[in-house]
């Protein structure tokens, strides 16, 4: 093993995490091992690599990087964020209960309600911003608590340490979807969570060119169970995709610094705009989750949502379709800025009544603020809002 980077600064850690010079050539970057199988010396006599669904050196380097950037012992890579979520739910059995946030990524909600409910797993949705709601929902069948903070798209904040304090005595696994914050802003394992999940498609990859997910954990037994599910169910990413995310992680801290700077400027610009009714961003001091966000995050990021005073479908659609630098697209966390309409795009899989009840209106507009020059981004919004 090379140098231990775990005690170094966050930037040093992100750049060196998981990558060792290639043993055969000294290549500084882990090569893309584009292979499905490995030649054995005799049956069962091999170098620890047998078949690429179970072992791949590029993936292993990435998995070590995932562990390092979340201050965890183990990382596991999956072919998408939802595949990583899917693996966590496969730890459960029929009759088990999951307490989940009532405001979370639409694809997670769809996976829970449309796929796993059919297998006899029960999901109880509560407002996790009030931790007492979780405590009240716990039963002897509760095996997993699933939270997302900040949430997509309303930027609600849940106190991770407070939920961990409830999960432990109940013997429930606490899994945190840390996609929005990224490991640059928040490390749930340090706050007592058992599993961190990421859609690596977003900030970790960072360049809108790959779909991938990951899980990070400290407990060896939990790692072994999840590794077994990873190889048995087979939702593993290919080596090309692993390489892209490994490369993305090296600039995560620099990108996040700029996402945070641009995010702060745009949130304040929108909030002072006469045609904007409300802005949801976790860095505003009057945001209900501000104190908790300040405590558990190192910054506030570049994700935000807003509503126009004229929130009619015509006006909302006009703004959504008229930006030139912000591209109208699903996804987030890439270097380029995106604008999105959650009600019809990212969150269309949540029934309308459910959505409205949780505060996600038809007129909500979500921004993933990229790392372009902020003046150009503000000018773009200024022209579009009109």
Ligand X SMILES: *Cc1c(COP(=O)(O)O)cnc(C)c1O
Residues that bind ligand X (CB under 6 A): 80-82, 105, 107-108, 148, 152, 177, 179-180, 199, 201-202, 211, 213
Burial 28-40 (b: 16+ CB within 10 A, else e): eebebbeeeebee
- Active-site residue, from 103, 159, 177, 241: 177
Angstrom distance (rounded) from CA 79 to CA 289: 32
Angstrom distance (rounded) from CA 88 to CA 74: 14
122 labelled catalytic: no
CB nearer to ligand X: give 90 or 202: 202
Q: 69 and 17 in contact (C-beta within 8 Å)?
A: yes
105 labelled catalytic: yes
Name the residue whose CB lies closest to ligand X.
81
47 labelled catalytic: no
- Active-site residue, from 8, 38, 49, 53: 53
Angstrom distance (rounded) from CA 162 to CA 131: 7
CA distances from 287 to 37, 80, 169, 309, 323 (A): 52, 31, 30, 19, 27
CB nearer to ligand X: give 184 or 308: 184
- Active-site residue, from 13, 202, 255, 355: 202
CB nearer to ligand X: give 107 or 248: 107
DSSP 156-204: ----HHHHHHHHTTTTPEEEEE-TTTHHHH--GGGGT-SEEEEETTTTT
Shortest distance (Å) from residue 118 CB to ligand X = 20
Long-range contact set of residues 375-381: C-beta below 8 Å, sequence gap at least 24: 376/325, 377/262, 377/266, 377/325, 377/326, 377/337, 378/265, 378/266, 378/269, 380/323, 380/324, 380/325, 380/326, 380/337, 381/266, 381/269, 381/270, 381/323, 381/326
Angstrom distance (rounded) from CA 179 to CA 214: 10
Structural element, H or E, at residue 264: helix 252-271
Shortest distance (Å) from residue 39 CB to ligand X = 33
Shortest distance (Å) from residue 364 CB to ligand X = 15
CB nearer to ligand X: give 180 or 326: 180
Shortest distance (Å) from residue 151 CB to ligand X = 8
Backbone angles phi, psi at 234, to 5 degrees: 85, 15
CB nearer to ligand X: give 346 or 384: 346
177 labelled catalytic: yes
Shortest distance (Å) from residue 256 CB to ligand X = 16
CA 5 to chain CA centroid, Å, is 23
Shortest distance (Å) from residue 280 CB to ligand X = 15
- Active-site residue, from 13, 59, 86, 105: 105
CB nearer to ligand X: give 63 or 177: 177
Residues with catalytic function: 53, 105, 177, 202
């Amino acid at each position: 093993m090379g140098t231990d980077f775990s005690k170094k600064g966050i930037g040093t850690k992100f750049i060196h995490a998981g990558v060792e010079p290639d043993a055969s050539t000294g290549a500084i970057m882990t090569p893309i091992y584009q292979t499905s199988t490995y030649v054995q010396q005799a049956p069962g006599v091999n170098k620890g690599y047998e078949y690429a669904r179970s072992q791949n050196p590029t993936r292993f380097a990435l998995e070590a990087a995932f562990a390092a950037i979340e201050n965890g012992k183990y990382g596991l890579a999956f072919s998408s964020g939802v595949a990583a979520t899917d693996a966590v739910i496969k730890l459960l059995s029929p009759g088990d209960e999951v307490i989940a946030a009532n405001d979370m990524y639409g694809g997670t909600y769809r996976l829970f309600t449309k796929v796993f409910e059919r297998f006899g797993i029960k999901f109880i949705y509560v407002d996790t911003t009030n931790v007492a709601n979780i405590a009240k929902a716990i039963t002897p069948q509760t095996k997993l608590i699933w939270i997302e903070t900040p949430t997509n798209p309303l930027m609600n904040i849940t106190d991770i340490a407070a939920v961990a304090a409830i999960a432990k005595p109940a013997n429930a696994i606490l899994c945190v979807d840390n996609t929005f914050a990224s490991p640059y802003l928040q490390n749930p394992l340090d706050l007592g969570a058992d599993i961190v999940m990421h859609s690596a498609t977003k900030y970790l990859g960072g360049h809108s060119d790959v779909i991938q997910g990951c899980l990070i954990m400290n407990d060896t037994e939990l790692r072994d169970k999840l590794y077994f599910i990873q190889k048995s169910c087979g939702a593993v990413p290919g080596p090309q995709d692993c390489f892209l995310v490994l490369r993305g992680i090296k600039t995560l801290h620099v990108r996040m610094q700029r996402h945070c700077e641009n995010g702060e400027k745009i949130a304040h610009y929108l909030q002072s705009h006469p045609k904007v009714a409300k802005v949801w961003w976790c860095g505003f001091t009057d945001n209900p989750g501000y104190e908790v966000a300040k405590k558990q995050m190192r910054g506030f990021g570049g994700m935000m949502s807003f509503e126009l005073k004229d929130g009619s479908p015509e006006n909302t659609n006009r703004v959504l379709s008229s930006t030139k630098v912000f591209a109208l697209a699903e996804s987030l966390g890439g270097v380029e800025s995106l604008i999105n309409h959650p009600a019809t795009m990212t969150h269309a899989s949540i029934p309308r009544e459910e959505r409205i009840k949780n505060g996600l209106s038809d007129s909500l507009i979500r921004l993933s603020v990229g790392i372009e020059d902020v003046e150009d981004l503000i000018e773009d919004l200024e022209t579009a809002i009109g």
